[in-house]
Amino acid sequence: MARREPGSALLQKNASARVLFITGALLFPSFLLQQDIAIRAMQIMLFLLLNVLSGRKIRFLQYLVVSAGIVVFNLVIPTGRVLVSPLGLAVTEGALKSGLLKATAMTGLIALSQFSIRAELRFPGRVGGLIGRSLFYFERIMGGRRKINRKDIIGSVDALLLEVQGAGPMQEGEENDPDRTTPVGLAILLVSLVASWGAYAFTIVHPHPIWGG
């Protein structure tokens, strides 16, 4: 009985690295131009879903820490009407909206880059080859970051770099990149593009944000 392929690798098996990169580049402006915090949050959920479908492991704690840090730093400078005042600290609407806009921008761009930038991505020419090798080694370093020992950060990082270097350059068969994008992969990416740009078009037609800056 044949084993079913995991859904988590659906895009990884049905879309080439170059098509994923192009999709990410097309999604980027529709996200960055979006000023409605609620819709931007939904776009982030879309990017996280694309990460899951392309086999990426989502580190929710990383996103939460980054977002919370940005929001907290923005609350230091109060602007607008006061919402609550816990422990004497005034949380204002303007500062909260500004912090959330910056936090969603950062987390969304992280999610978008993780989905669209792959180690097997190839560009033509010598410069393209250099970029491809850089992405390949970056993927290996990120994959081995758990080996970093907090008690010996410098030594463990040095050992990890030597291990990556000793593994040698990527071989031709190691790319594991489909020769072409299948109709399934193309359909998923097109739906994602339509959804993201459709959300931005909605904010143009309906200029009153659900909750924006």
- Note the Cα 177 to chain centre separation in Å: 20
**88 φψ region: left (φ > 0), alpha (ψ -120 to 50), beta (else):** left
In the predicted structure, residue 1 carries a pLDDT above the cut 60: no
Cα 94 to Cα 91: distance, rounded to the nearest angstrom: 9
Kindly state whether residue 192 falls inside one of the protein's structural domains. yes
Length of the chain: 213
- Percentages helix, strand, coil for the chain (3-state, rounded to 5) are 70, 5, 25
Kindly state whether residue 170 falls inside one of the protein's structural domains. no
φ and ψ at residue 113, rounded to 5 degrees: -70, -40
Residue with the larger pLDDT of the pair 211 and 98: 98
Domain count, the chain: 1
Angstrom distances, CA of residue 158 to CA of 134, 146, 162: 18, 13, 6
**Where is 83: in which H helix or E strand?**
strand 82-84
Helix, strand or coil for residue 129?
helix
Q: What is the pLDDT of residue 138?
A: 60
In the predicted structure, residue 116 carries a pLDDT above the cut 60: yes
In the predicted structure, residue 207 carries a pLDDT above the cut 80: no
**pLDDT digit string (tens) for 134-156?**
666 666 665 555 666 666 667 66
Kindly state whether residue 144 falls inside one of the protein's structural domains. no
Kindly state whether residue 105 falls inside one of the protein's structural domains. yes
Closest CA to 119 of 90, 146, 142, 97: 142
Can you give the residue range of the structural domain that contains 65? Answer: 8-118+178-205
Q: What is the pLDDT of residue 50?
A: 93
Q: What is the pLDDT of residue 114?
A: 84
Q: What is the pLDDT of residue 172?
A: 44
**pLDDT digit string (tens) for 14-64?**
888 888 888 999 999 999 999 888 899 999 999 999 999 988 888 888 888
For 94-108, what is the mean pLDDT?
89
Kindly state whether residue 2 falls inside one of the protein's structural domains. no
Which of the four pLDDT bands, split at 50, 70 and 90, describes residue 4? very low
Q: Is 186 exposed, middle or buried, given 0-12, 13-18 or 19+ CB atoms closer than 10 A?
A: middle
pTM value surpassing 0.85: no
Kindly state whether residue 70 falls inside one of the protein's structural domains. yes
Query: CA gyration radius for the chain?
Result: 21
Kindly state whether residue 159 falls inside one of the protein's structural domains. no
**pLDDT digit string (tens) for 154-186?**
766 666 666 666 655 554 444 445 457 889 999
Cα 44 to Cα 127: distance, rounded to the nearest angstrom: 31
Q: What is the pLDDT of residue 80?
A: 75
Q: What is the pLDDT of residue 98?
A: 87
Kindly state whether residue 183 falls inside one of the protein's structural domains. yes
